[in-house]
Amino acid sequence: MVAIPFRIPRPRLGRVLLPLLVLALVAVSIVRFGGYADARQGYTVPQDGQLESALGIRFTQAAVVGDGGLVELRYVVLDTQKASAFQNDTKHPPRLRNERSGKLAWRTALMKQGHELRPGQSYYLLYLNNDNAIKRGDKIEVTSGQRRLAHVPVR
């Protein structure tokens, strides 16, 4: 009797390699994009109850805008009468001092809204960023009269 060799079928390379590649792609995607949450630190501006009581506003944000040429200082109205007095005092706007370098931004454009201020509403002041005195990541001191609010982070 003649023996016929029994041949075991081999799986094709594609049937094994393709599922392995798909599994590797899924694993890399999970590790790269979905393995953890990457949240930025929260942005908080220091508060000073005496300053807020005197001016009728709360500073909420300082940001370098306009391709670095302007600094925007945002605030929320707490007391409309005091905030109106603050906004109408065009001769003495708050000054911004970079805590790291000591440079000042003092030339401002007061944004007169043309109507009564509303409590809880946000408003802003724009400053010319003289010689790039203030940069993103710096901390500034906001001075209004004799009152100061230090360590305000700049976005």
Cα 16 from Cα 23, distance rounded (Å): 11
pLDDT tens, position by position, 8-19: 555 566 677 777
pTM of the model: 0.71
CA distances 147 to 60, 79, 108, 114, Å, are 16, 17, 18, 27
Domains defined along the chain, listed by start = 49-154 (2.60.40)
**Which secondary structure element, helix H or strand E, spans residue 70, and what is its range?**
strand 70-77
| Nearest-angstrom CA–CA distance, 129 and 111 | 17
The pLDDT tens digits for 94-145 are 999 999 999 999 888 876 656 688 999 999 999 999 889 999 999 999 999 8
Return the H-helix or E-strand segment holding 25: helix 13-29
CB contact at 8 A, 62 and 45: yes
Alpha carbon distance 52, 49 (integer Å): 5
